[in-house]
Amino acid sequence: MNAPSLTIASEKNSYPVFIQGGLRHECFSYIREALQKSVSSYMIMIDENVADLYLADLLASFPENIQPTVTKIASGEGSKSIEKFSQLLTEALEVPLDRQSVIIAVGGGVTGDLAGYVAASYMRGIRFIQMPTTLLAHDSSVGGKTGINHPLGKNLIGAFHAPSAVLYDSDMLRTLPETEWRSGFAEVVKHGFIKDTAFLEWLEKKVMSFSDIPSDILNEMLRRSIAVKAEIVQEDEKENGVRAFLNYGHTLGHALESELGYGKLTHGEAVAIGMAFAHKLSERVFHTTLPTKTHEIYMTKLGYQLSIPEGISAASLLQRMKLDKKAEHNRIRFVLLEEMGKPVLLPVEEQVVLDLLVSEGVNA
Ligand SMILES: NC(=O)c1ccc[n+]([C@@H]2O[C@H](COP(=O)([O-])OP(=O)(O)OC[C@H]3O[C@@H](n4cnc5c(N)ncnc54)[C@H](O)[C@@H]3O)[C@@H](O)[C@H]2O)c1
Ligand SMILES: O=C(O)C(=O)C[C@@H](O)[C@H](O)[C@H](O)COP(=O)(O)O
Ligand SMILES: [Zn+2]
């Protein structure tokens, strides 16, 4: 077993993040090592597509006398629902899991958020392990935000519940379709925008396409991107302050996801549009110029569509944004960039947001 690539150590929680190609073949050893107290049973909650590709490898790493229960989760954002949450709790009760049981979430952000929320709620909280299998899940598997969607808005129901460990087998990313690389890369770039401009420059040199990113570059990218998130989460785990910066691009991004219907845009596609919008809003609010065009050119070359999709009204987007968790006293708050790498969280007048939406081609 290798040493952790990073350790997340906040005031209340400390857990290792292992990033390593091929780790799935030894996942049981890593899990056993990470869990200090005794374990009565394991339940794997796994994305159905990931199960087809990798479940056999995972099961082979468990000893014959410690085989986990397995439940599969339908692929897609639709699974982050109250119905699926309830069904998983029922399945856990039927096994039954007890307070010494451990849930292992294997999949992208949908599986991690959902299974994590089941772990947070089951018998008031049991331990869980994150095994991210998408690029996007470098973000979702770290930091302990778990939850589900509501038809009125994204991630409006959930809990903070830290995993006991994050086990990232970067070889598993090789089977991702290009759309999912693009989706995850939006959060990588976000971490550069908000905190690490040197990382951003490195990305612009090293990642010109998503096909065949060399393993050393991929692992380095995952480590550096998670390091940005880790630094913020360690300082403010429950989002009383700086953690909101991780929400850059999400005020509009989440509004687009729920307004269009979950799954129409991937999370990262929506966040990429939201970040392009937040760049421009920052320029208006601070009367400044950011390298917005340079970033748009880079993102567009990577295949991002940065304009707001047609057929949505500005009024409906404003309504959605008022339900964003960062809103206060019915006022929309945006993460803006004073300059690259320097985010701030600010209320923005509705009229200013509306004007920019309209100038971006959205019908009032
Ligand atoms: N908790 C957090 O801090 C946090 C952070 C960012 C995003 N999120 C949430 O994460 C979710 C998005 O996660 P996602 O982008 O990983 O989506 P996802 O979980 O839906 O996975 C995307 C697709 O990739 C497939 N897939 C997964 N792993 C694969 C693999 N190795 N090979 C081939 N196919 C694979 C899945 O079946 C699915 O079709 C959103 O709901 C978002 O809100 C949460
Ligand atoms: O970890 C965080 O904090 C983030 O904001 C990371 C985001 O990329 C992620 O999409 C998160 O789920 C959004 O959080 P929410 O509180 O706006 O639901
Ligand atoms: Zn996100």
In b/e form, how buried is each residue of 9-35, taking b as 16+ CB within 10 angstroms?
Answer: ebeebebbbbbbbebbebbbebbeebb
For residue 184, give the ligand 1 atom closest to its CA.
Answer: 15
Three-state SS at 349: coil
Burial of residue 307 (number of CB atoms within 10 Å: 0-12, 13-18, 19+): exposed
Average pLDDT over residues 340-346: 97
Residues belonging to the binding site for Zn(2+) are 187, 250, 267
**Strand duo 342-347 + 153-160: pairing:** unpaired
Q: Count H helices, E strands: the chain?
A: 13, 11
Residue nearest to atom 18 of ligand 2 (CA): 155
Greater pLDDT, 2 or 282:
282
For residue 234, give the H/E element and its range. Answer: helix 215-235
- Answer yes or no: are the C-beta atoms of 43 and 92 closer than 8 Å: yes
Q: Which of 1-5, 86-90, 143-147, 352-356 has the lowest mean pLDDT?
A: 1-5
Q: How many CB atoms lie within 10 A of CB 46?
A: 24
Strands (E), the chain: 6-9, 14-19, 42-47, 69-73, 102-107, 127-132, 145-150, 153-160, 165-168, 333-339, 342-347
pLDDT band at 250, cuts 50/70/90? very high
Contacts of 351 (CB under 8 A, 6+ apart): none
**Residues 87-146 pLDDT 10s:** 999 999 999 999 999 999 999 999 999 999 999 999 999 999 999 999 999 999 999 999
- Residue extent(s) of CATH 3.40.50.1970 domains in the chain: 6-176
Task: Please tell me the predicted confidence (pLDDT) of residue 137.
Answer: 98
Does the complex come out with an ipTM higher than 0.90?
yes
Rounded Cα–Cα distance for residues 282 and 343 (Å)? 10
Task: Please tell me the predicted confidence (pLDDT) of residue 36.
Answer: 80
Residue 174 clears pLDDT 90, i.e. is over it = yes
Three-state SS at 49: helix
Task: Please tell me the predicted confidence (pLDDT) of residue 169.
Answer: 98
Peptide linkage before 214 cis (omega within 30 of 0): no
Task: Please tell me the predicted confidence (pLDDT) of residue 280.
Answer: 97
Average pLDDT over residues 8-22: 96
Burial of residue 322 (number of CB atoms within 10 Å: 0-12, 13-18, 19+): middle
Contacts of 14 (CB under 8 A, 6+ apart): 7, 8
- Answer yes or no: are the C-beta atoms of 48 and 109 closer than 8 Å: no
* Percent of residues, the chain, with pLDDT higher than 90: 98
Among 42, 66, 67, 60, CA closest to 129:
42
Write the single-letter amino acid at 75: S
Question: Residue written as tokens 């209340």?
Answer: 12
Residues belonging to the binding site for NAD(+) are 75-80, 109-113, 133-134, 145, 154
Write the single-letter amino acid at 53: L
Q: How many CB atoms lie within 10 A of CB 76?
A: 14
Task: Please tell me the predicted confidence (pLDDT) of residue 208.
Answer: 96
Residue 268 clears pLDDT 90, i.e. is over it = yes
Which positions are catalytic?
A: 124, 145, 187, 229, 239, 243, 247, 250, 254, 267
Write the single-letter amino acid at 297: I
**Residues 150-167 pLDDT 10s:** 999 999 999 999 999 999
Average pLDDT over residues 20-36: 95
Residue 255 clears pLDDT 90, i.e. is over it = yes
Q: Which residues line ligand 1 (CB under 6 A)?
A: 47, 49-50, 53, 75-77, 80, 107-111, 113, 133-134, 136-137, 139-140, 143, 145, 155, 172-173, 175-176, 180, 183, 187, 266-267
Write the single-letter amino acid at 235: E
- Answer yes or no: are the C-beta atoms of 160 and 144 closer than 8 Å: yes
Residue 46 phi, psi (nearest 5)? -130, 135
Mean of pLDDT over the chain? 97
Domain 186-360 fold: Dehydroquinate synthase-like, alpha domain (1.20.1090)
Alpha carbon of 1 to ligand 3 centroid (Å): 31
Q: Using the 8-state DSSP alphabet, how is residue 324 labeled?
A: S
* Percent of residues, the chain, with pLDDT higher than 70: 100
Task: Please tell me the predicted confidence (pLDDT) of residue 2.
Answer: 87
Average pLDDT over residues 1-24: 95
- Residue extent(s) of CATH 1.20.1090.10 domains in the chain: 186-360
Task: Please tell me the predicted confidence (pLDDT) of residue 1.
Answer: 82
Evaluate if pTM is beyond 0.90.
yes
Domain 6-176 fold: Rossmann fold (3.40.50)
pLDDT band at 37, cuts 50/70/90? confident
Task: Please tell me the predicted confidence (pLDDT) of residue 238.
Answer: 97
* Nearest-10 crossing angle of helices 197-206, 178-195: 150
